[in-house]
Structure 1
Amino acid sequence: MGRKDGREKNVQKTARYLMLDEGRGLVFLSMFFYHAMWDLVYLFGVDAGWYRGTAGYVWQQSICWSFILLSGFCWPFGREKYRRGLLVFGAGALVTAVTCLFLPQDRVIFGVLTFLGTASLLTTFFHPLLLRMRAVPGFLTAVLLFVLTRNVNRGCLGFEGWRWIPLPDGWYRNLFSAFFGFPAKDFYSTDYFSLFPWLFLYLTGYFLHRCLTEGGCPDKKARLAGDRADRPVTERTDSCQPQTTAALPHFLKQGHVPALRWIGRHSLLCYLLHQPVLFLFLSAVYFLF
């Protein structure tokens, strides 16, 4: 019995894509230091012009893009996808409730966790339809739609500095429209990720995973047959434990930094705790020194 348990643990260990955990951990650390700078600049009055300018914006966008793309890429892993999506969405609702009650001037409405939970639930619900699309055309379509809709929060179609087609002012009305990407002029949130354009970046990661595992194959029966044949022995639901063992590049299974891997595997908990910890630590330093 002990030998069998040991073999199953080895299967779990080798089947997991450790580098994806480490990538998530690395992005989290970048976000941690970005938020530390945000607290220093906006809560403690530290003068950092570079942070308010292009350098800070590029840093922030690198975190957003990486985390959302990686989340979409990891969607096929694990089971109980509805449960996972609801858990992340619930965590986002908790962040919104806490900030609105205790930090209304820095409130978070439709933050990244709310978005990631919504994107996961929508991808799960529409997965049978998404499977009808070839992986490579799906990937290219998602990229194109993300580029086209990147500026919808700003009132137009376009990408960053390029503003191509203005959108009707009537679309930007209330909280409901803000959820989809059309915030009213008086809408305010310190962390805002609307459904559009970010869903298309999430789906870019989803289709990228399929490009690597399917080669663009549209044959649903072949995919389902491969899914049944490749199911892992165990029933784990870790975010980077594959539900299928289709051939992602082997180097993704190689881990090098256990600390990053631990952070990546517990990224939701780390995210929920990092801002209170940062605020308490910086407050203590501020008052002591």
Structure 2
Amino acid sequence: MGVNKEKERKNQRYEMLDSIRGAVLISMILYHACWDLVYIFKKDFRWFEGSGAYVWQQSICWTFIFLSGFCWSLGKRPVKRGITVFSAGVVVSLVTIVFMPKDRVVFGVLTLIGSCMLLIVPLRKLFVKLPARRGLFFSIVLFVLTRNINRGYLGFEEWKLLRLPKVLYQGKIMTFLGFTEPKFYSTDYFSLIPWFFLFLSGYFLYCMIGEKNGVNFRSRYLEAGWKPLSFLGKHSLIIYLLHQPLVYGVFILLDRFSLW
């Protein structure tokens, strides 16, 4: 009986989580549309080059990564899911390197999320021994401390706590980990550190409130949602892969026929 209930939980979609994902997906599409207008089609949109756009971009990626960690325990076949998302990230990288080398994506958000999904599989045996509250606390602390690792420092945003040795910042493997090699360029770069710790924050938050309260928590907070948004959330991966070519294609047509 217990096994059947667990299997049913693994197969269930939660409308609230899909709705949140769908809302953030819309925000991301709008952000990428603005990015294309400013950096590819050279339109004058000065606000987008300021701190407001940076906060907008961060709100999107933080939510996606945190939500992915929160949802990890709710899904089935974590290895298959991780490989699928990671492979999608590889496809994005290959396509952009070949067709848009100046706007290439290397170690993008899909590569990161797929890597995080796969890493949890072997690490979960250790995590189950760690109290969820403690895991959440340390994950947040580590994320804050390593947020600036790509820039050569420990610290968060403008807070530079400690400069790290330059010898660490060499090669593609170290760049993937977060120690960005000189002259590395990617329009969408999310290294394993610090973002794995944000993913872990979501994972431990679910362990803390979802596992403890079980069915009551899921039925009370996760099952209600808005259908249009949850539809987008359920198909977020394919929409993510298709949205940029579609937006780019629309803008090319508008530009060619002088419709703006």
The answer to whether TM tops 0.5 is yes
Letter in 2 for 1:130: F
1:187-207 Cα distance to aligned partner (Å, 9 max, x none) = 000000000000000000000
Q: Where does 1:27-46 land on structure 2 (aligned, <5 Å)?
A: 27-46=24-43
Ranges in structure 2 where 5+ consecutive residues have no aligned partner: 1-7
Q: Write the distance in 2 (CA, Å) between the matches of 1:88 and 1:16.
A: 18
Secondary structure at the aligned position of 1:158 is classed as strand
Shift of 1:246: 6.5
> How high is the sequence identity, in percent, across the aligned residues?
47
C-alpha contact 1:171 1:182 (8 A) present in aligned 2: yes
1:156 to 153, 156, 162: 153
What amino acid does structure 2 have at the position aligned with 1:247?
F
Question: Whose helix proportion is higher, 1 or 2?
Answer: 2
- What does residue 106 of structure 1 align with? 103
Which residue in 2 is equivalent to 1:268? 237
Could you tell me how far apart the structure 1 residues matched to 2:147 and 2:104 are?
Answer: 23
> 1:90/1:246 Cα in 2 relative to 1: closer, same or farther (>3 Å)?
farther
| Counterpart amino acid of residue 32 in structure 1 | I
Question: How far 1:249 sits from its partner (Å)?
Answer: 6.3
1:130 aligned to 127, 130, 146, which one? Answer: 127
Q: Which amino acid aligns with 1:161?
A: E
Within-5 A mapping of 1:199-278: 199-215=196-212, 245=215, 247-248=217-218, 250-255=220-225, 257-278=226-247
Deviation at 1:125, TM superposition (A): 1.8
| Corresponding residue of 1:182 | 179
Report Cα offsets for 1:207-246 as digits up to 9, x if no partner.
000110244xxxxxxxxxx9xxxxxxxxxxxxxxxxx747
Rounded to whole Å, the distance in 2 between the matches of 1:94 and 1:15 is 28
Cα displacement (A) at 1:15: 5.0
4+ residue segments displaced more than 2 Å: 244-249
Please list, as runs of the form range in 1=range in 2, the aligned pairs for 1:89-100 lying within 5 A after superposition: 89-100=86-97
Q: Deviations over 1:7-66 (max 9, x none)?
A: xxxx88x95321100000001000000000000000111111111110010000000101
- In the alignment, the residues of structure 2 paired with residue 78 and residue 55 of structure 1 have an alpha-carbon distance, to the nearest angstrom, of 34
Q: What is the one-letter code of the residue matched to 2:94?
A: A
The amino acid of 2:43's aligned partner reads V
Q: Is this contact kept in 1: 2:154–2:160, CA < 8 A?
A: yes
Q: Among 121, 136, 141, which residue is 2:138 paired with?
A: 141
Runs of 5+ unmatched residues, structure 1: 1-10, 216-225, 227-243
Corresponding residue of 1:8: none
CA drift at 1:79: 1.2
State the Cα distance separating 1:124 from its structure 2 match: 1.4
Structure 2 counterpart SS, 1:76: helix
- TM-score (structure 2 length as normaliser): 0.93
C-alpha distance in structure 1 between counterparts of 2:187 and 2:180, whole Å = 13
Residue in structure 1 matching 2:118, options 116, 121, 136: 121
Q: What letter is aligned with 1:86?
A: I
Q: Determine whether 1:85 maps to 2:82.
A: yes
Q: Distance in 1 between matches of 2:243 and 2:14?
A: 25
Once residues 197 and 246 of structure 1 are traced to their aligned partners in structure 2, the CA distance between those partners, rounded to angstroms, is 33
CA distances 1:97-145 after superposition (whole Å, capped 9, x unpaired): 1011111101100000000000000011211111110000100010000
CA distance in 1, matches of 2:171, 2:75: 36
Match of 1:5 in 2: none
Conserved? CA contact 2:15–2:227, under 8 Å: no
Higher Rg of the two aligned structures: 1
Work out the CA distance in 1 between the residues paired with 2:194 and 2:216.
29
Q: 1:183 to 1:84 in 2, by over 3 A?
A: same
Q: CA RMSD in A?
A: 1.8
Q: Does 1:71 align with 2:72?
A: no
Q: Distance in 2 between matches of 1:39 and 1:281?
A: 11
